[in-house]
Structure 1
Amino acid sequence: MASTSGISASTNFDIDSIVSSLMTVEQKPLTLLSQQKTSYQSKISAYATLQSSLSSFQTALANLSTSSKFNVQSATSGDSSVFTATSSGSATVSNYSIKVGQLAQSQKLATSSFASTSSTVGTGTLTITLGTYDEANNTFTANPDKTAKSVTISATNNSLAGIRDAINAGDAGVTATIVNDGQSGGRLVLTSKESGEINSIKITVADADGNNADADGLSRLAYDPTASAGSGKNLVELQEARNAKLNIDGIDVESASNVVTGVLNGITLSLFKASPDTAVSLNVTKDVKAIKDSVNAFVTAFNAVNTTLRNLTKFDDSTTTAADRKNGALLGDATARSISSQIKMSLTKSVGGTDAFSTLSQIGVGIQRDGSLALDSSKLEKAINTNLDDVAKLFAAVGVPSDVETRFVTQGSKTQSGNYAINITQAATKGTLTGNASPDLNIEAGVNDTLSIKINSISYNLTLAAGNYASVEELAQQLQTQLKDAKSSAEVSVEGGMLKITSPEYGTGSTLEITGGTAASGLFGSDPVAVEGLDVAGTINGAEATGKGQVLTSTAVGNPAEGLVVSVRGTATGSRGSIGLSVGYAAQLNELVKGFTSDAGLLANRTEGLQESIKRVTKQEDALEVRLTAVQARYRAQFVALDVLMTQMKTTQSYLTQQLAAISANS
């Protein structure tokens, strides 16, 4: 019987060996596809390595691509136990003599002793106001930036502990704690959350027992600093509210906080200890080391990219056999070659717009024979010390406007160094809403005290404090307070005796709309006038630009200013001066590398193309596998049939031989 596999007993055919040999030839296209797929995968891995290296390079570029990165200063205190200082980079380089007369502190008030934390105090309402107490004139002026808060005390929370918890939950600008004085259950202590004289505490009580100032019931928590002890001034002051007091170069200064800002431009002082009789120095200098470190990081990151590109594109000529060569995964790759040439081209061309320097070599950054960078630290330090502004221009994108209300924002990948005129045909405006009738000054709770308003697509539901307001201005201040508490930066003003709300944003989309509320018509009349904001419009370098809010962007393709973004404030139209722009090496490279590494960049597109190729090859492999299976089955069937036929022929041959032998024997 013929065999379907193995060696046939009758014909000695090795069917498995024959079919295997034939299939080796048939499978060569599949081997080529597999090699092609491996090549694609190797390139994808190599692109990922290059992407990672370029991303690290971009981080170093970001530290040098804007001029603010060069505004690095060191602010050193002569005695850090008295104060420390930090600089934003905009401070004047100088030395100051500072005396700290006293530290700022928060006011602390305490009740009399209670038997226990569960002792009943009373019910009613506590209204907590923060402000300034003038002892000389015995007056209290509310802090305009702090809204008075009311805390309701009912039968459910009228214990000492309950009142503590209610005050802390009320976000009234004070912290309530219970201190055990060792004599009884404890005393309620109220501390202003913020220091300074402007944050002194005043507590007004609406006591359920009808007497709001006596030393009984809830009125035991009353504290009016202008009243008499026991008659509305019923808490004990443990610590007065104080401002920090300093003397800077002979000038007396006060601050509500121990973190002092705005006194020395660009400097923040943190006060820790009073030193009224001893002057402590403050030395503000350029932080040359920080700038050098950033430049060194730029050199190091570039060299890492250069090494990565060289390794990925190298040709190994150490062996004579091509199969033994360890060439780079991107040898001959057009994408890698393009990236390398574009980066090197950016580094070798001169930068315009600077006075002292135009090339990196002039500040000590030189290009080596292998394409890497080398840093001459002493040459760089000299350049920083003698001409920091031009060092900044050599690396960063620096735009210097001639108009005080024009600001350079950023540049695009195609923006060139140059001097570009700004001309405004329409100034940006904010959206407004103005009433068409004088407002009702009498606000009644539950009657006409609510207002629903939409500002720039954000809805606010406000409740005005009830009262008979003395003027439109006083009512406007109440509305302003409610908007501020609702986290809106809109501004309320009075115009022609009517209320006006101005959006905090500029441009189209800056809109205001009253959507409801019981106070709507009483505050703004039946038909208030809403005006939408306008975007700035004009030209940059003589070509049309696109405005959004106060931001104007040059969109003219091919114009040297293409991609330049400026901010134009104010209401003046016509010529708004010019922007002198220098686009340094780091800024240029940052835009260039961004184009390589972004989600829609060169490497992402190339990787996506290779992944699609892998999918295509995989489909070809699958189809070829199906065909090869069929071919193998056909070969095997053919050789089995041949084996059967030859076995039959051999049987016939044997029969005929026997017959012929018999005939011969009988003749």
Structure 2
Amino acid sequence: MAISLNVTGLDTDTIIQQLMAIERQPLQKLQSQKTLLAKRKSAWDTVNTRLGNVSSRLASLTRISTFEGKKVAVQNSAVVLASASSTANCGSYSLRVTSLARGQIAGSASFASHDSPLNISGALTLNGRAIEVNITDTLSSIAAKINAADTGVEASVLQTEPSKYRLVLTSSETGTTNAMSFEGDLSAWQALGVIDGNGVLNEIQAASDAVFTLNGVQFVRHSNTVSDAAPGLTLDLAQAVDPQTGSGGVTTITVSPDDDAVVECVKQFIVDYNTLIETIKSYNSYDPNSGTAGTLFGDPLLRRLLVALREVIFKQVDGAFPGFGTLSSVGISTGAPGSYTKDGKIVLDEAKLREALATNRDAVMTLFGARAPNVALFSAGASVTASSTYGPEYPASSVIDGSSSPLLWGQGGGWTDGTPGAFPDFLEIEFGGERTIDRIGLYTLGSETYPAESYGVRDFDVEYWDSAGNSWVSLFAVTGNTQGYVSQAFDPVTTSKIRINVTGSNDDQHSRILEVQAFAKNDGAFSSLAETLRMYTASDGLLPVRTEQIDRLDRDLSRQIESMQRRLDMRMESLRRKFSALEVMLQQFNAQSAWLSQQLMSLTHDTRNG
């Protein structure tokens, strides 16, 4: 509401605005606080995104499949294309392809037209599928009927010369077992010229099998795609030895660990980790010259996160292989001495990482946290005792030698008790010191000759030694087992030894165990880092809690601003009313003053004239 009388000659609107500007100062402070909160929330959202990026990289680095991948190199890719799964054995394979698998091809006689009635009729049978041909059918319509009959044959009409057309039948599958069969009305097949008067097929190409040798061993397959010659290796044969010149058809295939995949994962992790560090330092920065501070400068949670990242990434990993205790031992560090980064960013010595992978892949996996260390190994300092032993061919020591193969059963490759038909039997494994474990694996006898459902342990329980209570404590129990391998995870426990008590076997005679594994809690560098990040990013983690705190403060400020704005609006309205009342009052005073002046002037005039 503007003030329009302007009796005083004052700029009352400006005065009111200046007064309100003073009154609005607390409101402006609240609005500034709200703006700052929005910036802080945005900053935490960015940090959370950066943490998520790092977590996704860690997921790859802590997966066994990342390390078990294989790559294939083919000396002559014109001969074969090859791929390998994680189960493929590393090594070289010498390949010689004698012949390729081919599908059978047969043809009809030549006809003057492809779309004129052939005046041929009959019930044809191709690969067991019935095809009815009538006198109005043409070469093209017969081809269409064959293709619609799901015969495993592809029919086409080809123009071989001007006004000469042939029906060509090609087996969809290669190999001699997929040769076509022509039955039914043979006179109709003969009229088409697919079969001659003697019942001989008009064959354009005979079906043939792929014949090849791999490391000197001959194979015959019905397809050029072979996946059962060597475990995990798939071959797509493309070229055979030329029978005339003897050239081609020979190559070497090399299968090796896919180190490139691991190195690339590490590189991607380093990029995202360094971006995270840069983001944190930017938000926590302070320039003493300009007095400018980062959005989250001084936030204790941000400082705590930075410290946690540095502690985990550079820590000594418990249970790691000797010489592989830290990430720097495999080339992941802040840089070489004299050239290290001072801001906490990390760099990769790729040659050192590749050397570590070639030297001891399992050690790198354990260091990263992709594979937990097995502490129930003689090589790790473990020892074992048994309730009894059947004989020297079945030693208890074999259950901690790292081999779970049943091939050496009865030759020192597994333990069995010496009390047939009597249970329980037990194995007690000491670790040589306190170890924190969270998973037990047990291989019982299980092979084609000795299946686990007939010879394996059926019922057993596992205990750990509680040194504080000076007693055995149950970890878990298994009943009715028929599998060759049993694995059980549990909450981590710290102990110096475990005991396996067997209370029954599937033949009710002997306890037969090939290997026992006790896996230490996975404290690898990257698995530990992933666990640390989850503390911050989980739905109930530290970052969501901090974001909720900011949201609560923001809502509270919004309420304060809304309330203060209402009060300011009321204050402005009050000032306008007061100044308006002042103008009205002054106008009345001016009117009275003018009347009095008029009366005085009139009185003076009368006095002079009297």
TM-score of the superposition, structure 2-length normalised? Answer: 0.68
Q: 1:640, CA displacement in angstroms?
A: 0.5
User: Which of 161, 179, 194 is 1:182 aligned to?
Assistant: 161
Deviation at 1:606, TM superposition (A): 4.8
Aligned-pair identity in percent equals 26
Alignment of 1:328-343 (within 5 A): 328-343=294-309
- In the other structure, the counterpart of 1:214 is 186
Q: How does 1:624-643 map to 2 (within 5 A)?
A: 624-643=564-583
Aligned residues: 496
Q: Distance in 1 between matches of 2:549 and 2:68?
A: 43
Residue type of the alignment partner of 2:572: Q
- The answer (yes or no) to whether the contact 2:160–2:166 under 8 Å persists in 1 is yes
Match of 1:50 among 47, 50, 54: 47
Q: Choose from 314, 317, 320 the match for 2:285.
A: 314
* 1:382 and 2:355 aligned: yes
Asked if residue 246 in structure 1 is aligned to residue 235 in structure 2, the reply is: no
Kept in 2, the 8 Å contact 1:82–1:275? The answer is: no
Aligned partners of 1:316, 1:116: CA distance in 2, in Å?
Answer: 87
Deviation at 1:16, TM superposition (A): 0.5
Counterparts of 1:336 and 1:304 in 2: how far apart (Å)?
15
How does 1:12-161 map onto structure 2 within 5 Å? 12-114=9-111, 115-117=113-115, 119=117, 122=121, 124=123, 126=125, 128=127, 150=129, 153=132, 159-161=138-140
Q: How does 1:210-609 map to 2 (within 5 A)?
A: 212-216=184-188, 230=197, 236-275=202-241, 277=246, 279-319=250-290, 322=291, 325=292, 327-356=293-322, 357-367=324-334, 368-398=341-371, 418=437, 420-421=439-440, 542-543=474-475, 577-581=516-520, 582-593=522-533, 596-597=536-537, 603=543, 606-607=546-547
After TM superposition, give the deviation of residue 22 of structure 1 in Å: 2.4
Distance in 2 between residues matched to 1:153 and 1:540, nearest whole Å:
74
1:632 CA displacement: 2.2
Indicate yes or no: 2:165 matched with 1:198: no
Decide whether aligned partners of structure 1 residues 605 and 235 sit closer, same or farther in structure 2, where only a CA change above 3 A counts: farther
Distance change (3 Å), C-alpha of 1:179 and 1:553: same
State the distance in 2 between where 1:398 and 1:622 align: 57
Distance 1:543 1:660, change over 3 A: farther
Q: Note if contact 2:61-2:266 (Cα within 8 Å) is conserved in structure 1.
A: yes
Q: How far apart are 1:312 and its partner, in Å?
A: 1.9
Whole-angstrom CA distance in 1 between matches of 2:124 and 2:478: 56
State how far apart, in whole Å, the 1-side matches of 2:57 and 2:136 are: 58
Distance in 2 between residues matched to 1:343 and 1:57, nearest whole Å = 11
Contact 2:439 2:487 in 1 (8 A): no
2:590 to 643, 647, 650: 650
Q: Give, in whole Å, the separation in 1 of the partners of 2:364 and 2:224.
A: 37
SS at match of 1:11: coil
Separation in 2, partners of 1:400, 1:16: 80
Q: Which residue of 2 aligns with 1:464?
A: none
Whether the 8 Å contact between 2:133 and 2:142 is mirrored in structure 1 is no
Closer/same/farther in 2, CA of residues 183 and 539 from structure 1, 3 Å limit: farther
Aligned partners of 1:76 and 1:84 also within 8 Å: no
* Separation in 1, partners of 2:117, 2:100: 37
| Structure 2 unaligned regions, length at least 5 | 335-340, 375-401, 406-434, 444-458, 465-473, 496-504
Mark the CA change 1:619 to 1:658 in structure 2 (over 3 Å): closer, same or farther.
Answer: same
Amino acid at match of 1:283: T
Measure the CA separation in 1 of the matches of 2:543 and 2:122. 70
Query: Helix, strand or coil: the match of 1:275?
Result: coil
Note the C-alpha offset of 1:37. 2.8
Cα shift at 1:656 = 3.6
1:465 alignment counterpart: none
Residue 636 (structure 1) shift: 1.1
Q: Which moved more, 1:118-127 or 1:355-364?
A: 118-127
Aligned residue type for 1:27:
R
> Are the equivalent residues in 2 in contact too, given 1:19–1:635 (CA < 8 A)?
yes
User: How far apart are residue 371 of structure 1 and its match?
Assistant: 1.7
> Structure 1 regions of 5+ residues with no counterpart?
130-149, 205-211, 406-415, 425-535, 562-570
Q: C-alpha displacement at 1:156, in angstroms?
A: 13
Write the distance in 1 (CA, Å) between the matches of 2:205 and 2:61.
49
Coordinate RMSD, CA, aligned: 4.4
Say if 1:560 and 1:309 are closer, same or farther in 2 by CA, change over 3 A. farther
Greater Cα radius of gyration, structure 1 or 2: 2
Does the residue aligned with 1:180 lie in a helix, a strand or coil? strand
Q: Shift in Å at residue 652 of structure 1? A: 2.3
Q: Is the 8 A contact 2:114 2:138 kept in 1?
A: no
> What's the CA shift for 1:122?
4.2
Give the C-alpha shift of residue 360 in structure 1. 1.0
Give the deviation of 1:196 after TM superposition: 2.5
1:190-212 deviation digits (Å, cap 9, x = unpaired)? 323332333333354xxxxxxx2
| Partner Cα distance (1:155, 1:590) in 2 | 72
Contact 2:99 2:211 in 1 (8 A): yes
- When structure 1 is superposed on structure 2, of 626-635 and 247-256 the one drifting more is 626-635
Report the Cα distance in structure 2 between the residues aligned to 1:599 and 1:221, rounded to whole angstroms: 74
TM-score for both structures, normalised by structure 1:
0.63
How far is the alpha carbon of 1:306 from its aligned partner?
Answer: 1.1
Measured in 1, the distance between the counterparts of 2:78 and 2:404 equals: 41
